[in-house]
Structure 1
């Protein structure tokens, strides 16, 4: 075969390779645009949810009120060119809210909404960066491989300042036996294995779960005692506490419900989670006199004085320590 034929074949091969590169680049650019659009949709949804939570906060926090609600509505309605200043104004106003005055369930919801905004903004920023990087290549620009797809834009908004304390609303149960004794577990913080304390059954409220349902669920999981949520009395007590567990700091709010052990029922801890198995050593029933006499740490701290009268609850929610 002559040299000219080799040159023709080499040229054809080069054109094929170039064609493959162009098709691959165009497909990659199309996928990046799809990724950017999906990231924007997720960011838009996260910002919309934050605005909804902000309106809920405005109905409770006297220091923000109408101004916070107006900023939330402005952020929701803002067109793309006006979105950045509107969202930044809402971020600044939310940062000024005194969250200690809010119900912890709402604090947790707001913290979750802000965390989702942070994550969604970073994902969107990464998608925009990768798309623009490919669009700016000379070959892509000269050959117009991006087609008619609009160039994506960053959303330059300030990230909310996330608190180091994790909000943790919890539902607990003061479970009494036929003698009026209360069930308590003895456990410890895995970061401080040598320090133990006694506490009632209960745990964190899951997303979308109401307090009463959470208390009933936790009771089943930790004691095996099945009681419908409607049979729980209360909440009778509310306890706000800052604590650490496993090296993390929590802003806790505990709501206590009252329940009586059904006749013939026994405590079954086989439903413990792995963490509970590792950190809870025992359980037992305590009388008010035993609680008054013990030198061990018990939570709530006022349990000994509150226990005798709890079965005659008058319908008043009482703050406890």
Structure 2
């Protein structure tokens, strides 16, 4: 019977002065789909506050050194539960688009576990359009996270040119409230 692992995580909505959103692309290669676009971020370590985790993850995945005081939020929350078959599947699933070894989902003989990732999203308004380079994220080299793009509101509304999806799926619909500086307290649940 599969087990379940809860993982607290953070995501960063990094917006440049041109009101573009930074997203990374990954394609775990287990499905014919073209992968997914997601916000930088990752797991919260034991004893670490979500804001400190957000600053650390931003540094690891982009090379940007940002004081947590310059971040706002959490503005959104998201819960993502997926079957995973191992470390690589867990990474893909945690970032929002992978389904791991989903062909065995529901099979009581399956050795898969469930990853129950609970994310908090923070906003960082960059004073310029920074150069991006991962410096410490061990998943970067394995999952192809080096592929990134700055997306305008119009780009998000048009969607990816291929079959890729956004994580969260409602990102094009919700991004305008971030640009306007409007978000709710408590944070909005943005779904999958």
The verdict on how the C-alpha distance between 1:309 and 1:297 changes in structure 2, with shifts beyond 3 A counting, is same
Q: Which runs of 4+ in 1 moved over 4 A?
A: none
2 CA distance for matches of 1:180 and 1:261? 10
Q: How many residues align?
A: 158
Q: Which runs of 5+ in 1 are unaligned?
A: 1-161
The question of whether the paired residues in 2 share the 8 Å contact of 1:175 and 1:261 is answered with yes
**Aligned residue runs from structure 1 range 102-251, under 5 A:** 164-189=3-28, 192=30, 194-195=32-33, 196-245=35-84, 246=89, 247=100, 248-251=113-116
Q: Which has a greater percent of helix?
A: 1
2 CA distance for matches of 1:233 and 1:310? 10
1:164-194: per-residue Cα shift (whole Å, max 9, x none)?
A: 121111011000011111000001336x265
TM-score, normalised to structure 2, is 0.75
Q: Which runs of 5+ in 2 are unaligned?
A: 90-99, 101-112
2 CA distance for matches of 1:236 and 1:288? 18
| Partner residue in 1 for 2:165 | 297
**Aligned residue runs from structure 1 range 17-36, under 5 A:** none
Q: Which has the higher contact order (CA 8 A, sep 6+)?
A: 2
1:306 aligns with 2:180: no
TM-score, normalised to structure 1, is 0.46
1:285 aligns with 2:154: no
Structure possessing the higher radius of gyration over alpha carbons: 1
Aligned-pair distance for 1:210? Answer: 1.1
Aligned-pair RMSD on alpha carbons?
2.1
The question of whether the paired residues in 1 share the 8 Å contact of 2:177 and 2:183 is answered with no
Aligned-pair distance for 1:261? Answer: 1.7
The verdict on how the C-alpha distance between 1:254 and 1:264 changes in structure 2, with shifts beyond 3 A counting, is closer
3-state SS, counterpart of residue 167 of structure 1: strand
**Bigger shift: residues 240-249 or 227-236:** 240-249
1 CA distance for matches of 2:2 and 2:72? 33
1:215-251: per-residue Cα shift (whole Å, max 9, x none)?
A: 1110000001111112110000000111244254201
Aligned-pair distance for 1:280? Answer: 2.1
The verdict on how the C-alpha distance between 1:231 and 1:203 changes in structure 2, with shifts beyond 3 A counting, is same
The verdict on how the C-alpha distance between 1:177 and 1:207 changes in structure 2, with shifts beyond 3 A counting, is same
